[in-house]
Chain A
Amino acid sequence: MTTKNFWRSLEEYANFEEFQKSLEDEFPPDAAVRQGVVDRREFLSLMSASLALAGLSSCAPAAPEKIVPYVRAPEEIVPGKPLFFATAFPLGGYGLGILAESHMGRPTKIEGNPDHPASLGSTDAFAQASILSLYDPDRSKAITQAGAITTWDAFITNLAAELDPKRLNKGEGFRILTETVTSPTLAAQLKQILQQFPSARWHQYEPVNADSARAASRMTFGRYSDIRYHFDKADVILSLDADFLLSMPGHVRHAREFTARRRVKAGEKEMNRLYAAESAPSVTGAVADHRRAARPSQIQDIASQINDGVAGKGSTGDAWIDAVVRDLQASRGKSIVVAGPHQPPEVHVIAHDLNTKLGNVGQTLEYVDPIEPNPVEQMQSLGDLIKDMQAGAVDLLLIAGGNPVYTAPADLEFAKHLANVRLRIHFSLYEDETSERCHWHIPETHFLESWADIRSDDGTTTIMQPLINPLYAGKSAYELLSAFLGQPTRTTYEILIEAWGQGRNKDEFEKLWRKSVHDGVVAPELNAVGALYERPGRSQTAPTVSNVVAGFSPRSPSDVIEVAFRPDPTVYDGRFANNGWLQELPKPLIKIVWDNVALLSPATAERLNVINEDVIEIKSEGRAVRAPVWISPGHANDAVTLFLGYGRTRAGALGSNRGYNAYSLRTSASPWLIKNAEVRKSGERYALVSTQEHHSMENRNLVRRASAAEYAQRPDFVEAERDTPPGELTLYPEYAPEEYAWGMSIDLSTCIGCNACVIACQAENNIPVVGKIEAGRSREMHWLRIDRYYQGDIHEPEIFFQPVMCMHCEDAPCEPVCPVAATTHSSEGLNEMTYNRCVGTRYCSNNCPYKVRRFNFFNFHSNEAPSMALLYNPDVTVRSRGVMEKCTYCVQRINHARINAKKEDRAIRDGEVVTACQAACPAGAIVFGNIADPNSRVSKLKSEPRNYGVLTDLNTRPRTTYLAKLTNPNPAVKT
């Protein structure tokens, strides 16, 4: 196989710019500007035309843009055989290394990139769901000027006319607003623009940002500095309202590192201990060994008290705090204090102080230079821009990404002042609230459609490769900025190659580039991301941490109600509002779908005389918002938590006019907290949908739990119930397992309830979205759900997560009741559904004690836009109306491995079959494999004493078993 052939076939396969060009040459110029949905037929014809013309165009001496498949270099594309390409999923400016699975040119699934330090092979729910956005029919499809469709050329012409006078006046009045930028190339382009237009300014703003941490590092060290945590090295972790397992940059790696210290073998009791103080229960709080519910403003007091304690100022009289202090002192150099991004800078400063005092710096965490080439305090940056807009000093504004009209704090009145700008250009994935108020709208390419580079929170840089040609008339940010640099015809690829290849030997660069693109991690030799921008230098008189802390005034508790803001756990800051998978993903703790809520504690709800679904009105500084109440056990009293990301007016068919808009209360001075809000019951009701309505386990021992110490003493504690009937009770002889007997083990000690598996399963298995109404009728289709139970005091409950999917029972109750033999047992122990045979009596679901079967009450896929058909995994049947479905243990993946093994005439190796949920799990809680092989990983886990099955008293003998949850409570703390 020659390299040349290999490249050539890939070019044909993966749609490059020249294909697009040849298309545009072939057809009238406006052919590329497509209005409306590209349906499947149209898309396929376009694809085939691209392929055909690509053959022609490759005769022309065009510079090839090479993308590199991850695993193996096939001579030709083998139909039915997916290829994996390394790229990265950007969120909040930071990249998560992923492998995108591509079937015949269609990206269908996201997997983690094991070589990428931020991913380690796992992903999160956002990354999993991002593939749906690629095919979203509501994405913006055309360049528009004042709402009318136009062309890139027209834009270029207009832009040139605009920029020419700007060159003369040094770019006076020219402003660029971006989201967080970590891309070295993009930053370099921006720098070039600023050089060409010295009076122009670049602002960065995202509603969920690192401003607090930045301000704290400025206050503490006199310069910006990021923290990199190493949770695997910490024995004791204190989270100060920091949801580091789910929502902070690097959370996938954090989850892996954190849970690595929570796997306890029989007889051991070494595990880390997590203390969490937080207002609204988060995933991190739920897995904490000790969780303290505290109002957002009290976190600082708690932090100060702990800080004083560690400094040796004696007992505080609070047993919880004293215990934390003693534990931290006992683990010097082996602890982490992590402050939440939504806490004020003071809390971050205290955390710096604590970590310094405890000798953690350099051990469990390190201070590093910011990943962003040009770190700014974004609220300040946006404020400056708006001030200029208000003063009429801005006459050309490029909003390159983001949706500031929707996400800017209410007090800044972005939309109002935007009208002062003479020419407004908006560039984004969707035509949104901001596009509406701009003259020009340029559609952005999805990250799977374009080349790019991006950095992760740990500093890894990834070259992102395109998996597919832009479905619509999208442009990348690089192309857009290049147009501002007067080079509108340059492709993203050219821009990147030039940026990275600068000053390098061509052959050497070629090699390094290929390796970097292939690995999804830029080769160290290539990775020279220098400081492009001047950063605030180290202040000469940098105050020591303790001095800064001493200056804080303690916050006195008051009895007014505080309102905290949080990014939504599924739609984030609103950017995923039109993503059906994420909308229908139950929020980790409250299990609400399709809406945001106002979270309250039970006591506060009583005080306000409200119950679930009552609408409350929250007033602050003359602004008001109405939000439906959801009572959350474990929430801090006298506090309300509001979630961003809803109440959008132009998000698309799924995301618009859903929920309330929390941004309309937010202020720039205190973006995460309103200290004194007026909250009252409005008398209205609003119907919410929660996928889990009952929260107690009813003493049914579904999640079994012990402390690590108890486990060391009594390793067989899970059998205390003695509910598994003895084997001889059955009349039938046991089937001897054949070569393979598939089974699964789920470790409840490490499951953090993050939902990554749920979306991974949905993406892998073509599971439809049913919508709020159908979800409200309890007809959601998720094959894998995460049950959440509360136990104990309603104010400070213990919180449990339990992923539940088909248990593949040996004696499956669903099988004998099916009248048509549509659900049967395979020789390898899989409980299989034959969709074609199912007539839909639903008896199997009635008889399933785990209620994991899902029924197609309607033809749910029929509502989907034609473009969604491209998303389907071709290895999995798309189910139609009237049939039952459920988890298959990813039988398509088993068969894939079986085919490979047979070709090589060997047995399937342990670890060769990885289910979609297992692959996604950042905690590594799910392990799948052959239980007939005593040496397989899953067999070993199942032989651990804390292995148990749920509802085994029914003699179902499930193939999926759980490892009991272990916690590591501090004996000094009661509860």
Chain B
Amino acid sequence: MSQEIIGSGHTYATITDKISSIVLTRKTPHGWLFGFGVGFVLVMLLLVSITYLFVEGIGIWGVNIPVAWGFAIVNFVWWIGIGHAGTLISAILLLLRQGWRQSINRFAEAMTLFAVACAGLFPVLHLGRPWFAYWLIPYPSTMGIWPQFRSPLVWDVFAVSTYFTVSLLFWFIGLIPDLATLRDRSSSRTGRVVYGILAMGWRGSAIHWHRYEMAYLLLAGLATPLVVSVHTVVSFDFAISILPGWHTTIFPPYFVAGAIYSGFAMVMVLAIPIRAVYGLEDFITMRHLQNMAKVMLATGLIVAYGYLMEHFMSWYSAEKYERFMTLNRWGGPYAPAYWALILINIVIPQALWFRRVRSNVIMLFLVAIAVNVGMWLERFVIVITSLHRDFLPSSWNMYYPTFWDWSTFIGTIGLFLALLFLFIRFLPMISIFEMRTLVPRSEGD
């Protein structure tokens, strides 16, 4: 292996210094201020959009009859998909003993949390009466009524909330040893108190480490099926319906693959600039990027296979509505979105077959961006083109997003950015203790 997962010459001390200094000693860079500023402004836009939405009603968006689900659901699925990479990297790769995960798992997990938080907003916002969202939660209601458990939307509530909870726990437990490090190294009293509380009394004793490893492993085991289940359940939102373009058994695997695809792309989009800005090339090495590119290529091909099968089945089933749906995607009013999807999401990522592309940071960054756009388009195509022309031609109609559709979407990107920048500034974005475990191996190689 020519490329390392950690740069040479690092010792325990240099790793700890380098990573903790970002939080504790280095001056806040102007880039951070700028980035956070952008995120903050967009969060304000999100708040304005939500306030206006709550005052006026869902009609400020472009949704209508027949296209009763629009950007909100597209964005929900997109964010949930992005939220897949973190847990996958942390849990599954941990179980598979993939050491290279250890420099990227921390911020991938953080990214997961923030993406799921953004995703979680949408199902609530898109309700006609969001103040009754809690009716989807089973609780002993005085009305004597439970949620309707046959509805995939109820499954969604369980899937997403479980995923969020487990991801949060996993991330937090992973942070504890590092929080203790920060507590010990912090020069300010506030830092010591805050990190001290968060470290939950971690002293680094052998018994701590023993229990810690056990808990982490168990959580990884718990989180692993969730990675698969959450997007499977999200895909049920569509697959359970009778709508051509939604009613497809292939959806669960193809949604999961798509989620990993977009998740890794997002990790890449974030990792590439961060490693450049903070000089972390030693920790997030080209090998990391190349591995992620390979995962993207593989999952991207699964997604492409999914598209292919969808079309094959619509022909093979000889089902007139299915056939029409496919033809309508190809040549209907939303055909540009469909062909853009094929280009951006399937054709462009094939560049990753080439080593030269995989070893070029700029190219990787661009491909990753393309995949994120492409996966958003995929959800747009699935949600909108299936709904806008279904069974009765008399009710066919178009969907046009409004300003508020866009502002809410962009607002959540702002929320994501703002949370991410706060994370980078106040928590170790790379796992210090796990990186330290890599030192001997890198020295031994």
Contacts and interface: CB of A to CB of B under 8 A. Distances in A.
Nearest to A816: B150
B126 to A, nearest CB: 8
Interface stretch (B62-70, B192-200, B205-213, B367-375): B62-70
A850 B145 CA distance: 29
A785 B133 CA distance: 31
B147 A857 contact: no
B93 interface: no
Contacts of A843: 68-69, 151, 153, 237, 241
Contacts of B129: 838-840, 881-883
Contacts of B396: 693-694
Contact of B394 (A789, A817, A821, A951): A789
A804 interface: yes
Interface string B322-363: 001000000000000000000000000000000000000000
A319 interface: no
A698 interface: yes
Interface string A133-154: 0000000000000000000000
Contact of A839 (B59, B127, B237): B127
A817 B151 contact: yes
Interface stretch (A176-184, A628-636, A749-757, A774-782): A774-782
B260 to A, nearest CB: 26
A700 B391 contact: yes
A951 B393 CA distance: 12
A774 B57 CA distance: 13
A414 to B, nearest CB: 43
B135 A698 contact: no
Contact of A777 (B57, B64, B240, B387): B64
Interface in A769-814: 774, 777-779, 785, 787-789, 802, 804, 813
A330 to B, nearest CB: 38
Contacts of A130: none
Interface in B56-112: 56-59, 62-69
Which of under 10, 10 to 19, 20 to 34, or 35 or more describes the interface residues of A? 35 or more
A219 interface: no
A841 interface: yes
Interface string B198-234: 0000000000000000000000000000000000000
Contact of A698 (B62, B66, B393): B393
B128 A884 contact: yes
A239 interface: no
Interface in A854-901: 854-859, 881-884
B135 to A, nearest CB: 5
A846 B152 CA distance: 13
Contact of A838 (B57, B128, B130, B398): B128
Contact of A846 (B57, B69, B128, B393): B69
A67 interface: no
A694 B393 contact: yes
Nearest to A777: B64
Contact of B397 (A778, A785, A816, A853): A778
B392 A702 contact: yes
B68 A845 contact: yes
Given A779-B59, A820-B135, A857-B59, A785 B394 contact: yes
A699 interface: yes
Contacts of B59: 774, 777, 779, 857-858
Given A820-B136, A846-B243, A857-B57, A804 B148 contact: no
B240 A817 contact: yes
B56 A694 contact: no
A820 B134 CA distance: 10
Given A818-B148, A954-B242, A839 B136 contact: yes
A696 B392 CA distance: 10
A793 B216 CA distance: 71
B366 to A, nearest CB: 35
Contacts of A542: none
Interface in B238-272: 240-243
Chain B binding surface SS class: loop
A951 B321 CA distance: 11
B68 A855 contact: yes
Contact of B132 (A816, A821, A839): A839
A697 B126 CA distance: 32
Chain A contact surface mostly: loop
Contacts of A819: 135-136, 147-148, 151, 153-154, 157
Given A787-B392, A842-B128, A882-B127, A837 B65 contact: no
Contacts of A859: 57
A839 B135 CA distance: 8
B405 interface: no
Most buried by A among B136, B157, B393: B393
A778 B242 CA distance: 22
A787 B151 CA distance: 30
B28 interface: no
Nearest to A774: B59
A970 interface: no
Interface string B383-421: 000010111111111100000000000000000000000
A702 to B, nearest CB: 7
Contact of A842 (B63, B130, B242, B320): B63
A697 B390 contact: no
Nearest to B123: A841
A849 interface: yes
A813 B128 contact: no
Nearest to A817: B151
A851 B395 contact: yes
A196 interface: no
Contacts of A724: none
A847 interface: yes
Contacts of A840: 58, 127-129
B65 A696 contact: no
Interface in B156-203: 157
Contact of B393 (A789, A841, A842, A884): A789
A952 to B, nearest CB: 11
Contacts of B132: 820, 839
A732 to B, nearest CB: 12
Contact of B324 (A698, A779, A785, A856): A698
Contacts of A804: 392, 394
B128 A851 contact: no
A882 B241 contact: no
A44 B261 CA distance: 65
B227 to A, nearest CB: 24
Contact of B392 (A818, A842, A850, A853): A850
Given A819-B151, A857-B59, A882-B58, A847 B127 contact: no
A692 interface: yes
A821 B148 contact: yes
A700 B151 contact: no
Given A698-B324, A839-B132, A858 B57 contact: yes
Nearest to B64: A778
A90 B443 CA distance: 99
Nearest to A786: B394
Nearest to B246: A846
B320 A700 contact: yes
A574 B126 CA distance: 40
Contact of A855 (B65, B133, B237): B65
A459 to B, nearest CB: 41
Given A853-B65, A857-B58, A839 B128 contact: yes
Contacts of B153: 817, 819, 841, 843
22 contacts: A777-B62, A778-B397, A789-B394, A804-B392, A817-B150, A817-B152, A817-B240, A819-B151, A838-B128, A839-B128, A840-B129, A841-B126, A842-B68, A843-B68, A846-B241, A851-B65, A851-B395, A857-B128, A858-B56, A859-B57, A883-B129, A950-B392
Given A817-B240, A856-B128, A857-B57, 9 more contacts: A693-B397, A698-B324, A778-B65, A778-B66, A802-B394, A819-B148, A849-B391, A851-B392, A857-B59
